[in-house]
């Protein structure tokens, strides 16, 4: 498995493990809306961001220690092509998400719903990027 | 014009002292996985990489890569 695919798997797992439970919590939170700015929501978001950074930091360290030569290898033309393909796919997801969360949702939602929707769309775009990377390497494309 | 890019890298590696994919990749600045993908016909290299590969084996580009035309555009068999 190429080193870039390993790092993509790591990022994908970190994102699912941290943001997955976060969005489940957000979706299940059916209590009455709390007055804004409602900073304890922000503390949850900060906590999962720190958790994700920790997982990524430790994961990258382990990968670098286990495969030091592969980690030092610069990107070649196929890696660049895969990177470009993944970024363009993620771009369309992000554009759709931002139009929805920024231009359509404000007519019916407000406060943290908009923030959560925006974060969700960003996470979707990032997951799309990582999935395209993993699939491209799997298919040797 | 429909067709696909085929190559003789595996054979050329064999005729060059069973050169490994990793060694070929190292000599032209590509990873072993990229050489494997090119050999399998899953990835088409850039023109520059194609020339570099041909240069390693000291053969013309056409001896490494061939464009196989298919469908109505294919040349009739003799």
Under DSSP, the state recorded for A140 is: T
Mean pLDDT, chain A, whole residue set: 90
Predicted ipTM of the assembly = 0.75
Cβ separation B33–A137 shorter than 8 A: yes
Name the pTM for this structure.
0.82
Contact B32, B25 (CB under 8 A): yes
Measured between beta carbons, the chain A residues lying within 8 angstroms of B37 are 78, 140-141
Cβ separation A77–B34 shorter than 8 A: yes
What pLDDT digit, counting tens, does each position of B4-34 carry?
A: 889 999 999 999 888 999 999 999 999 999 9
Burial environment of residue A65 by CB neighbours within 10 A (0 to 12, 13 to 18, 19 or more): exposed
């Amino acid at each position: 498995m190429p080193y870039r695919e390993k790092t993509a798997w790591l990022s994908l797992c970190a994102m699912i493990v941290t943001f997955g439970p976060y969005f489940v919590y957000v979706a299940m939170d059916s209590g009455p809306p709390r007055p804004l700015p409602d900073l304890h929501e922000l503390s949850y978001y900060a906590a999962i961001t720190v958790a994700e950074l920790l997982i990524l930091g430790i994961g990258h360290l382990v990968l670098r220690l286990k495969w030091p030569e592969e980690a030092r290898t610069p990107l070649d033309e196929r890696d660049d092509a895969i990177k470009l393909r993944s970024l363009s796919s993620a771009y369309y997801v992000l554009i759709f998400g931002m139009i929805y969360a920024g231009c359509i949702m404000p007519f019916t939602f407000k406060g943290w719903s908009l923030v959560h929707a925006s974060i969700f769309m960003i996470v979707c775009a990032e997951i799309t990027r990582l999935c395209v990377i993993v699939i491209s390497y799997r298919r040797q494309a | 014009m429909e067709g696909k890019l085929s190559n003789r890298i595996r054979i050329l590696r064999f005729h060059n002292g069973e050169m490994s994919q990793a060694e070929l990749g190292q000599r032209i600045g590509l990873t072993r996985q990229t050489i494997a993908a090119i050999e399998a016909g899953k990835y088409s290299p850039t023109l520059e990489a194609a020339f570099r590969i041909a240069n390693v084996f000291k053969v013309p580009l056409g001896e490494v890569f061939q464009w196989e035309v298919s469908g109505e555009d294919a040349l009739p068999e003799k």
